[in-house]
């Protein structure tokens, strides 16, 4: 095994980083994902009582509830992939 320490090939990628809280909702906030361009965060929250998919625009601080009570509450809720087609499809 190799040694760990300064000058031995290991570097902390978060060294010197600052952190800011992005939400202050009551309840749970889970499964956050940062958009590739770094402008948005999507996450699950039960802010309105049931778990929904929310999006935060980081620059403005504005939140949008995408699923509005229609997010599936099955055991697959905590999976890494959300299939929103079921929750956002409109009836014809």
Render pLDDT for 39-51 as a digit per residue (tens, 0 to 9): 999 998 888 788 8
Count of the separate structural domains present in the chain:
1
Residue 40 lies in a domain: yes
* Lowest-confidence pick of 44-48, 62-66, 73-77, 87-91: 87-91
Q: Which helix (H) or strand (E) holds 34?
A: strand 29-34
> What 3-state class would DSSP assign to 75?
helix
Residue 14 lies in a domain: no
Question: Is 9 exposed, middle or buried, given 0-12, 13-18 or 19+ CB atoms closer than 10 A?
Answer: exposed
Residue 13 lies in a domain: no
Domain that holds residue 32: 20-72
Residue 91 lies in a domain: no
Residue 64 lies in a domain: yes
> What 3-state class would DSSP assign to 8?
coil
Report the percent of the chain where pLDDT is more than 70. 70
What is the mean predicted confidence (pLDDT) over 45-74? 87
Residue 39 lies in a domain: yes
Is residue 82's pLDDT more than 90?
no
* Lowest-confidence pick of 40-49, 63-72, 77-86: 77-86
């Amino acid at each position: 095994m190799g040694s760990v320490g300064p000058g031995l090939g290991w570097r902390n990628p978060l060294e010197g980083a600052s952190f800011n809280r992005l939400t202050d909702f009551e309840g749970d906030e889970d499964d956050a994902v940062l958009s590739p361009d770094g402008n948005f965060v999507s996450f699950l929250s039960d802010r309105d009582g049931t778990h929904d998919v929310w999006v935060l625009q980081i620059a403005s601080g504005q939140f949008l509830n995408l699923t509005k009570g229609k997010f599936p509450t099955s055991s697959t809720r905590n999976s890494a992939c959300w299939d929103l087609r079921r929750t956002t499809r409109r009836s014809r």
